[in-house]
Amino acid sequence: MLPVRQAFLIAYMTGILWLRRNPISLVFTAISPFSLLFVLYVATDGAAVHFAVAGSLVMALVGYGLALGQDISFYKTEYKIQDVFVASPVSPLTYMMGLALSELLFGLPALIVLAGLVVSFGGSLLSIPLLIATILLIWGSMSSMGFFLSSHMLHMRNATQIISFVNVVLAVLPPVFYSIDIVPDALRPLAYALPTTHASLMLQYIIGETPIPADWSLGFGFAVQAAYLIGFVILARTRAIWRES
Amino acid sequence: MLAIDAVGVTKKYKGSRMLALSDISLKVESGKVFTLLGRNGAGKTTFVRICATQLTPSSGTIKVLGHDILQNASEIRNLVSIVPQEGRPLRALTPWDHVYNWLKIRGEGSSSAREKTEDILRKLELYEARNRPAMNLSGGMKQKILVAMAMATKAQLLFLDEPTIGLDPVSRRQVWSAIKQWKSNGGSILLTTHYMDEAEILSDYIVIIDKGKIVAEGTIQELRRIIPQNMRVDVSKDGLDVNSLSSYGSVVDTGGGMLRVFTFESAARELSELAIRHNVSFTVSPVTLDDVFVHLIGQTIDKGDTNGVGQNERN
Ligand SMILES: Nc1ncnc2c1ncn2[C@@H]1O[C@H](COP(=O)(O)OP(=O)(O)OP(=O)(O)O)[C@@H](O)[C@H]1O
Ligand SMILES: [Mg+2]
């Protein structure tokens, strides 16, 4: 029970208290996920709106995971706050959970709007649990990835570079904002190897307005997504640097 | 039980050719303030971080409060609390936010957390500023937030890595009295500092390290005896025959046109009379930890302030 309480308290400190004292930061995190949505909507005269919404939601979640990575390396190198946590009864996973929750809090306004759009396109209330599960899966795997990456990056400058690179690999190159049908057959396995492809397909599936490839199913999507979540959590637990060597 | 029992601790950082710590063995008794002194880069922080389970040693064994740092790190983490070197509080959060929530994270109930937070904030004179975001506080006040977080906990062993850096003389004394109170409640402390007066006032035992090796250790009294003479006289260079000074004791150039003569009471008196006759300013004081430190590390450091204990100034 204590780890859960600790995680919520960390989220409270770094999320709620921070926002209460610094509410303006919410505006920026709330607006940024809509930039690509806006461009795609305008550029295609609304035709690509379903892809754009699914893509923006995925990209936002990738962004929260990576922002977590950035925050963590900042807390570690600049504030030395991680030092204080390491030499305390807080476990690395609890620390990660707490900061990931606070990241989610910052993203909540945008998430609610984007998730609302998905549901309004999909039209079915039954899709809400599926949507929430999808969001949690992506959030969890991206957060643990962010934590894992951050703890291996010693310098802030490095962190920012790695984070933008990973963002491109996960959210820009794969079929997150566009149809997987466009991807040449030879590259499809590669696209399917990335969790974000499945995340976008799951959202497209819920929306139900775009063609779903025959070789993909919801179960497949969940399996890959869950595998990434478990894999990254294990990596974060065992390979993330908590005590330095 | 020993607070820390270190045997043969060696540390070599990845990618570094030098040893940051070389075969360090030391014992820290419970309920005592144990101080590590040493120049920049001597290895103090490295040792503290290894003991506080933040860093692994390359070899050697350390038991902290009876637990092995590698095998039983989680037991240790329940029992210790740290002030990291050059830590900073979270900008948007207030002193109260930091201390109160940190106590709750460490398992304290709300009412006792509230009580302890109020108590430590008052002690460190942060109470007035308790609701101001850290980014609007001065550097010293920010540092005191970190000290408050660590000292409000009910840990048994505190690691304080330069806790009073950047604090004004009054604030430093507030931290000192918090440290003394911590000790009187039975707690142990591993302290590092560059302030020799602080070490002198607080320490029960001191270890001086240089380039990763222990060069001296003991109580203040024991360390003072490392310098054979017990008095020192600081005199201005001008107007005195520098060569003749060595007949009074060993002479060190402390820079700024000043010489320091280590000597005994009777010779100190003669030297003072000589200085008076030549109308040269001088100061007589007992040998301090500072002198021992400089003597051992073998460097002359330009010291504008000779903050000797029991200073005795005459013109
Ligand atoms: N992360 C690191 N990687 C490589 N070398 C390091 C690292 N941290 C410290 N060192 C080296 O280890 C040695 C000891 O450093 P340490 O920080 O322990 O010194 P210190 O006694 O605390 O100094 P200061 O008084 O300046 O705080 C130094 O030579 C330093 O350059
Ligand atoms: Mg240091």
Share of chain B above pLDDT 70, in %: 94
Indicate whether A66 pLDDT > 60. yes
Share of chain A above pLDDT 70, in %: 98
* ipTM reported for the complex surpasses 0.85: yes
Q: Which has the closest alpha carbon to B160: B89, B85, B98?
A: B85
The pLDDT-based confidence of A154 (bands split at 50, 70, 90) is low
Q: Which has the closest alpha carbon to A99: A158, A133, A135, A150?
A: A150
Least confident interval from A94-98, B106-110, B240-244, B301-305: B301-305
Closest ligand (CA of B84): 2
In chain B, what residues touch A80 (CB-CB under 8 Å)? 84-88
Chain A contact present for B55, CB below 8 A: yes
In chain A, what residues touch B102 (CB-CB under 8 Å)? 84
What local confidence, expressed as pLDDT, does residue B118 receive? Answer: 98
Pinpoint the alpha helices (H) of A75-194.
81-86, 92-122, 127-152, 156-167, 188-193
What local confidence, expressed as pLDDT, does residue A156 receive? Answer: 58
DSSP A93-104: HHHHHHHHHHHH
The pLDDT-based confidence of A157 (bands split at 50, 70, 90) is low
Q: Name the residue in chain B with its Cα closest to that of A84.
A: B82
Average pLDDT value for chain B: 91
Q: What is the mean pLDDT of residues A203-209?
A: 91
Indicate whether B98 pLDDT > 90. yes
Least confident interval from A225-234, B223-232, B234-243, B277-286: B234-243
Q: Which atom of ligand 1 is nearest to the CA of B13?
A: 4
Closest ligand (CA of B38): 1
Q: What is the mean pLDDT of residues B40-48?
A: 97
- What Cα–Cα distance (Å) separates residue A38 from each residue in A59, A201, B8, B307? 14, 20, 63, 67
Q: Which atom of ligand 1 is nearest to the CA of B162?
A: 27
Q: What is the mean pLDDT of residues A51-58?
A: 93
pLDDT per position as a tens digit, B263-278:
999 999 999 999 999 8
DSSP chain B: -EEEEEEEEEE--TT-SS-SEEEEEEEEETTSEEEEE--TTSSHHHHHHHHTTSB--SEEEEEETTEETTT-HHHHHHHEEEE-TT----TTS-HHHHHHHHHHHTT--HHHHHHHHHHHHHHTT-STTTTS-GGGS-HHHHHHHHHHHHHHS--SEEEEESTTTT--HHHHHHHHHHHHHHHHTT-EEEEE-S-HHHHHHH-SEEEEEETTEEEEEE-HHHHHTTSS--EEEEEESTTS-HHHHTTTSEEEEEETTEEEEEE-HHHHHHHHHHHHHTT--EEEEE--HHHHHHHHHT-----S----TT-EEE-
Share of chain A above pLDDT 90, in %: 54
- Domains annotated for chain B, with CATH where assigned, are 4-224 (3.40.50.300), 231-297 (3.30.70)
The pLDDT-based confidence of B294 (bands split at 50, 70, 90) is confident
Please name the residues in contact with A171: beta carbons below 8 A apart, sequence gap of 6 or more. Answer: A55, A58, A59, A62, A63, A196
Distance between Cα B8 and ligand 1 center (Å): 18
pLDDT per position as a tens digit, A40-52:
889 988 888 999 9
Least confident interval from B74-78, B145-149, B202-206, B265-269: B265-269
Please state, in angstroms and rounded to a whole number, the distance separating the CA atoms of residues B19 and B42. Answer: 10
Please name the residues in contact with A86: beta carbons below 8 A apart, sequence gap of 6 or more. Answer: A242, A243, B52, B53, B54, B77
> Contact at 8 Å (CB) between A94 and A7?
yes
Indicate whether B139 pLDDT > 70. yes
Least confident interval from A158-167, A182-191, B204-213: A158-167
User: Ligand 1 pocket: which residues have CB below 6 Å?
Assistant: B 13, 16, 20, 38, 40-46, 85
Q: What is the mean pLDDT of residues B111-129?
A: 97
Indicate whether A95 pLDDT > 90. yes
Chain B contact present for A93, CB below 8 A: no
Please state, in angstroms and rounded to a whole number, the distance separating the CA atoms of residues B220 and B199. Answer: 9
What local confidence, expressed as pLDDT, does residue B307 receive? Answer: 36
Q: Which atom of ligand 1 is nearest to the CA of A154?
A: 1
Indicate whether B141 pLDDT > 90. yes
Q: Which of A8, A88, A95, A242 to mutate to test the interface with B (most CBs of B within 10 A)?
A: A88
The pLDDT-based confidence of A31 (bands split at 50, 70, 90) is confident
Q: What is the mean pLDDT of residues A1-10?
A: 92
CB contact under 8 A, A90 and B81: no
The pLDDT-based confidence of A77 (bands split at 50, 70, 90) is confident
The partner residue sitting opposite B56, judged by closest CB among A18, A84, A243, is A243
The nearest CA of chain B is from the CA of A172 a distance in Å of 33
The partner residue sitting opposite A87, judged by closest CB among B54, B88, B107, is B54
What local confidence, expressed as pLDDT, does residue A123 receive? Answer: 74
Closest ligand (CA of B194): 1
Q: What is the mean pLDDT of residues B159-178?
A: 95
Q: What part of B 102-161 touches A (C-beta under 8 Å)? A: 102, 104-107, 133, 146, 149-150, 159
Q: What is the mean pLDDT of residues B281-309?
A: 69
